[in-house]
Amino acid sequence: MGRLFGTDGVRGLANGNVTGELALDLGVAAARVLASGQEEGHRPRAVVGRDTRVSGEFLGAALNAGLASAGVDVKDVGVLPTPAVAYLTSTMDVDFGVVISASHNPMQDNGIKFLARGGVKLDDAVEDRIESLLGQEWERPTHGTVGRISSDSGRAGGAYVEHLMASIGADEDHKPLAGLRIAVDCANGAASDVGPVALRASGADVVVINASPDGRNINAACGSNHPEQLQAVVVASEADFGVAFDGDADRCIAVDHGGTVVDGDQIMGVLALALKDEGALPHDTLVVTVMSNLGLLLAMRDAGITTVQTAVGDRYVLEEMRAHGYGLGGEQSGHIVMSRYATTGDGVLTALQLASRVRVTGQKLADLAGVVQRLPQTLVNVPGVDKTRASTDEALLAAVAAAERTLGETGRVLLRPSGTEPLVRVMVEAATQQQADAVAAELAGVVRDRLAL
């Protein structure tokens, strides 16, 4: 049996492998680990939130029961974005936070993610400790030491919106986004309320789509993974630009006034330049993954900004940022972290910061994003190979080196072994799509020949 926790908590088919029984057991085990070591008389506290999936209702009930049975007082804040729960975990004097969500996954999936005090992701060792306690017998609290469960009246969401507004200097008297029309696709997810509210309260004229969650329509042909509706609405409503979140609103991608998608790499480029201009980009460094487009790396180099690359996954970006005090990082998917304001990716925060840059500069988003000229990219999956030899086979490495010499400064090659399958991904970026396709096809053939099982 493999490890229960993945790169972003426990995730899978709701009521398949992610059951009510598992949620209850995880609540008990997490309480024993995350609420341990406290002073005598301390009542452990946790904040719990979820996205709009129908399965979140029974999973939340089970999780809360497990936490309370282990002596934890639970504040259930209901439907709120993952970054909202992270923010609340850092400000409400709780021992830990929990999010019930499967992010951008389809409705039938769900997941459970724990946040340590301060709103940060758990280390692998802590997750392993929680997993090791699942199903164990222990001396449970009784009498008045069992936990209580209370529901939030909406104040938590209001506090989160105020925090978001403060990041761009907005309040009741100052509306820095006045004059902007912004189309917003909420993916029928966790930001369906707070996303439009934060933008409107900051002065924007907001056109909202996909903000009527029914428990089953989250991420359904909408949101950051499916921006087609937003592209059409931006053009039809003559909006200055649009933004799209995913189900738990830790991602944001944008659409310019002409309906062209502005991805996470381009958004990071815009925000990095904004922070550098303000003298607020720590170490003049941007943290990206190895899958970020070479066009972003070249644009940042030309702007005097260093890029640090990590493995794919927001947790690796976060680890690098925390280890070295960097202030901005993220992924091409739109999962962008601004550590001055958040401990995790925050789609609504990203939207506000992007809107503020558009307003302050007076430029169109298309012009701002144009600083990052995305190079054509081709990805080929090569199955049925010995992925363990991808980094050691001399003939393959020689072919990669020859390809990189041919591509020059405006191209690169990346071989990525799959984490779960006998498969190697060949990614090539080049000056033209034709060249990228040709080099990727050639190298895929070499991988197939050299690493065949």
Contact present, 92 and 47 (Cβ < 8 Å): yes
Question: What is the crossing angle of helices 194-201 and 347-361, to 10°?
Answer: 20
Beta-carbon contacts of residue 449 (< 8 Å; ≥ 6 apart): none
H helix runs in 122-204, sequence order: 124-132, 155-166, 194-201
Q: Does the annotation list 192 as a binding residue?
A: no
Contact present, 54 and 100 (Cβ < 8 Å): no
Task: Give the whole-angstrom CA distance, residue 246 versus residue 262.
Answer: 15
Q: Does the annotation list 248 as a binding residue?
A: yes
Q: What are phi and psi of 231, to 5 degrees?
A: -60, -45
Q: Which helix (H) or strand (E) holds 269?
A: helix 264-278
Compute how many other C-beta atoms are within 10 angstroms of the C-beta atom of residue 98: 28
Task: Give the whole-angstrom CA distance, residue 253 versus residue 264.
Answer: 6
Q: What are phi and psi of 219, to 5 degrees?
A: 65, 10
CA torsion angle 314 159 360 211 (round to 10) = 70
Task: Give the whole-angstrom CA distance, residue 352 versus residue 355.
Answer: 5
Contact present, 62 and 20 (Cβ < 8 Å): yes
Compute how many other C-beta atoms are within 10 angstroms of the C-beta atom of residue 405: 9
The catalytically annotated residue of 101, 103, 224, 333 is 103
Task: Give the whole-angstrom CA distance, residue 443 versus residue 396.
Answer: 8
Contact present, 364 and 240 (Cβ < 8 Å): yes
**Both tokens of residue 154?**
């909406």
Contact present, 160 and 79 (Cβ < 8 Å): no
Beta-carbon contacts of residue 6 (< 8 Å; ≥ 6 apart): none
Contact present, 333 and 247 (Cβ < 8 Å): no
Q: Which of 247, 176, 178, 239 is nearest to 208 (CA)?
A: 239
Q: Which of 98, 105, 95 is nearest to 82 (CA)?
A: 98
Is residue 103 annotated as part of the catalytic site, yes or no?
Answer: yes
Q: Does the annotation list 346 as a binding residue?
A: no
Amino acid at 85: V
Q: Does the annotation list 292 as a binding residue?
A: no
Residues assigned a catalytic role: 103
Binding residues for Mg(2+): 103, 246, 248, 250
